[in-house]
Amino acid sequence: MADELLSGDQIDRLGLDDWRPMYDAIEARFATGDFVTGLKLVNAIGEAAEVANHHPDIELRYGHVDVLLRSHDVGGKTQRDADLARRISELAADLGVSADPSAVQRLEIALDTWDVDEVRPFWAAVLAMEEFGDDEVTDPSHRVPTIWFQRCEPHEHPHQRFHLDLRVPPEQVESRVAAALAAGGTLVSEDQAPRFWVLADPHGNQVCLCTHVTREH
């Protein structure tokens, strides 16, 4: 069935050498070598996607093109993704472009917590992401790493601490701070605003909302 969700193992058995299953998607990087070749590949993929009525996420950079295929209507990998992946590989080969499977990766961040339901709304709010399943917040566009929550026993200090710096447009800060506070967070410091604001979830795990204002980069 074209809409049946496929596991990573099932994808591996389909002979899609250029592609790698990554959580709910299959992804490939094509080493185009230059921008013009990358643009030609993107245009060819666009035409094929219209014919298939199935549209990938594409990122064009100098030297490579990243492609992510996911069946959004069913929330994962399907035969439709595999079929379009095979066609995209053919288009790349026609342009003399090879895939670089070793470059495919996606970052996720794990946070120890003894109460997922208490802290997860904060992270969904401050990152403008969606709660997914029982223990994740995700970005549907895949531009921000998924955060998943690993359950642990209560303790005075977390076993691990992590710190996130999230740079956002200056006009987004006010709404992000408000959403985070409404989701149970606290404003730790705004002493360095408008460079950054420090917020914390109900367990004290911190995130900095940063902007470009007053910075060289």
**Could you report the per-residue pLDDT of 95-112, keeping only the tens digit for each?**
999 999 989 888 788 888
> Domain 108-210 carries which CATH code?
3.10.180.10
Q: How confident is the model at residue 89 (pLDDT cuts 50, 70, 90)?
A: very high
Q: Which of 46-60, 84-98, 126-140, 172-186 has the lowest mean pLDDT?
A: 126-140
Mean pLDDT on 169-194:
94
Cβ distance 208 to 197 under 8 Å?
yes
Matching CATH number, 8-103, of 2.60.120.10, 3.30.1360.20, 3.40.50.720, 3.40.50.300: 3.30.1360.20
Residue extents of the structural domains in the chain: 8-103, 108-210
First to last CA, the chain: 49
Cβ distance 80 to 73 under 8 Å?
no
Looking from the CA of 135 toward its CB, the CA atoms found within 13 Å total 13
pLDDT at 157: 64
From 70, 85, 110, 66, select the one nearest 16 (Cα to Cα): 85
- Evaluate if residue 181 carries a pLDDT over 90: yes
What is the SS3 assignment for the chain? CCCCCCCHHHHHCCCCCCCEEECCEEEEEEECCCHHHHHHHHHHHHHHHHHHCCCCEEEEECCEEEEEECECCCCECCHHHHHHHHHHHHHHHHCCCEECHHHCCCCEEEEEECCHHHHHHHHHHHCCCEEECCCEEECCCCCCCEEEEEECCCCCCCCCCCCEEEECCHHHHHHHHHHHHHCCCEEEECCCCCCEEEEECCCCCEEEEECCCCCCC
pLDDT at 2: 72
pLDDT at 130: 93
What is the tens place of the pLDDT at every residue in 110-152? 888 889 999 999 999 999 999 988 899 999 887 889 898 988 8
Return the structure tokens found at 65. Answer: 């093109």
pLDDT at 151: 87
Give the other-Cβ count within 10 Å of 127's Cβ.
22
From 145, 119, 82, select the one nearest 204 (Cα to Cα): 119
Q: How confident is the model at residue 208 (pLDDT cuts 50, 70, 90)?
A: confident
Q: What is the pTM of this model?
A: 0.76
